[in-house]
């Protein structure tokens, strides 16, 4: 079953990444984004196939992350 997501906000121009979402059923927070720098990706410890990281600007978290 697909998650029911609500967009919390973004600090990017024109709706680009990163963007925060909340799962309306579980309260989990999801981040939409992409990290393309191979030097950053090379530092990941034990990534699974297809995994990457997302850079989350501090302002995005302080403005839109749930406080509860």
The pLDDT of residue 15 is 67
Planar angle of CA 58, 4, 62, nearest 5 degrees: 15
pLDDT digits (tens, 9 = 90+) for 22-65: 999 999 999 998 877 889 888 999 989 988 888 888 999 899 88
Residue 20 pLDDT grade (very low, low, confident, very high; cuts 50, 70, 90): very high
Are 12 and 19 within 8 A, CB to CB? yes
pLDDT digits (tens, 9 = 90+) for 31-41: 998 877 889 88
The pLDDT of residue 67 is 82
pLDDT, greater one: 16 or 33: 33
pTM of the prediction?
Answer: 0.77
């Amino acid at each position: 079953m697909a998650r029911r997501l609500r967009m919390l906000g973004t600090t990017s121009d024109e709706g680009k990444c990163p963007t925060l979402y909340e799962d309306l059923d579980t309260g989990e927070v999801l981040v939409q984004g992409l990290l393309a720098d191979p030097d950053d990706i090379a530092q990941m410890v034990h990534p699974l196939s297809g995994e990457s990281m997302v850079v989350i600007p501090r302002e995005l978290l302080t403005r839109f992350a749930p406080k509860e």
